[in-house]
Amino acid sequence: MRKSLLYVFAVICTMGFFTACGDDDDSSSSGNWQDLSKTYEGKSVNLVMGEVTVPVDGKSVVIAASSAEKASVTLNNIIPENKSVAIDAALKEADGTYTFTGESTVGDCVVSVNGTVKGGVASVVYTRKLTSSIVGNWSLKVGVEAIYANIVTGNSTIDDLVRMIKPAISNLIWGKVSAVNVNLPEDGIFDVSWRPIGASEDKGIGEITKMASIQYCVVDGKFMVAVDKNYVTVLTTLLQQAAGDKLEAAGISIDEIMKLLVDLGGYYGLPLNMKVDGSEATFYADKDLIVPVLTMIAPILKPMVPENYQQMVDMVLQLLPNAKTLEFGLNFTK
């Protein structure tokens, strides 16, 4: 399964290479600094995040040169923290090629650019450096302490059952793995790894997140898993083709799934709440996310529930949308 996922991501990531290829032989450029001021998009821009080529569809770079030494470089739909990021850049010219460098801070993220303009094409290498307190390598807490559950429905029977959720899910997790780690590095490309019981090596998704530039960011106090819209379009198309009939039979639509995501300009973000206190952190979903997800997957889960528990499951599903508090997630330490 993991090899299949890597293959799919390898295929779609080549899109980033081909869509980023511009025509370096454009003869419209005169080499004058005034000619730099324009919007670079489509075939007139190449984008690289660190060392990873990024698809350019829906993105643009606007250069406004004020002199032969200074320019404003605006990244549109490129940085997940903000749809538009303006950077004061230094310009230099050599043999008809202009280079520009600069950086800007957006919230807890320092955005740096290092690019060139030649033949009417802007080639932009950019990096994100996160300074948030969530940066670091986080390990899932051991035992029942791994589970965060704050659920109050107002129904004493259901609330009593909720107290059993933490040990039940904890046993499920630690019955399968001996460790779970979430690495949130400065560059914003995260990794989740785990070690199966009895294994000597970890498994993880780092290769996939790097290949497809799946990033994390903090927006309005929320932890976001940000995925490029170009990749989301490809993945949803593949999902519809591969399992459209099964999704329809289960009453699940791609449109309903997309409603769970936040529009971040050039990205879609999956929002999670977070609490960070020194070396401890909790990442959790609240009612706004849990209820629609449960509503979607209920038709799939209910047939798996023993018949003598069906009535209780129905009661829970009816009560949760009106719960006073509904928060569920995982606790980590570093």
Same domain, 54 and 168: no
Helix (H) or strand (E) holding 305, with range, is none
Residue 23: what pLDDT? 42
Same domain, 115 and 215: no
State the total domains in the chain: 2
Q: Per residue in 232-276, pLDDT tens? A: 998 888 887 877 777 777 677 888 889 999 999 999 999 999 999
Residue 15: what pLDDT? 47
- Among residues 128, 151, 186, the one where a domain terminates is 128
Helix (H) or strand (E) holding 97, with range, is strand 97-106
* Main-chain dihedrals φ then ψ at residue 69, nearest 5 degrees: -115, -15
Same domain, 187 and 243: yes
Q: Does some domain include residue 25? A: no
Residue closest to 291 by CA, chosen among 140, 146, 153, 144: 153
Same domain, 251 and 323: yes
Q: Does some domain include residue 190? A: yes
Determine how many CB atoms are found less than 10 A away from the CB of residue 131. 11
| CA gap 101, 71 in Å, rounded | 9
**Could you tell me the residue range of the domain that residue 140 belongs to?**
134-331
Residue 126: what pLDDT? 98
Same domain, 290 and 145: yes
Residue 313: what pLDDT? 74
Same domain, 192 and 234: yes
Residue 25: what pLDDT? 42
- Among residues 103, 128, 153, the one where a domain terminates is 128
Q: Does some domain include residue 2? A: no
Residue 254: what pLDDT? 84
Same domain, 159 and 222: yes
Residue 156: what pLDDT? 85
Same domain, 82 and 157: no
* Main-chain dihedrals φ then ψ at residue 258, nearest 5 degrees: -65, -30
Q: Does some domain include residue 6? A: no
Q: Residue holding tokens 């993880």?
A: 204
Determine how many CB atoms are found less than 10 A away from the CB of residue 25. 9
Determine how many CB atoms are found less than 10 A away from the CB of residue 195. 16
Residue 91: what pLDDT? 97
Is the separation of the CB atoms in 126 and 111 below 8 Å?
A: yes
Q: Does some domain include residue 118? A: yes
Is the separation of the CB atoms in 113 and 73 below 8 Å?
A: yes
Residue 217: what pLDDT? 97
Same domain, 173 and 320: yes
Q: Does some domain include residue 18? A: no
Q: Residue holding tokens 């060139």?
A: 116
| CA gap 155, 142 in Å, rounded | 30
Strand 191-196 with 203-204, pairing: antiparallel
**Low pLDDT (below 70) residues in the chain:** 1-31, 250
- Global pTM value: 0.83
Same domain, 85 and 147: no
Q: Does some domain include residue 23? A: no
Residue 238: what pLDDT? 83
Beta bridge partners of 73: 63, 87
Q: Does some domain include residue 5? A: no
Beta bridge partners of 121: 118
Q: Residue holding tokens 């898993």?
A: 225
Letter for the amino acid at 26?
Answer: D
Residue 246: what pLDDT? 74
Same domain, 111 and 187: no
Same domain, 86 and 155: no
The residues, any chain, with a CB within 8 Å of residue 171's CB and separated by 6 or more, are none
Is the separation of the CB atoms in 125 and 109 below 8 Å?
A: no
Determine how many CB atoms are found less than 10 A away from the CB of residue 259. 10
- Among residues 109, 128, 147, the one where a domain terminates is 128
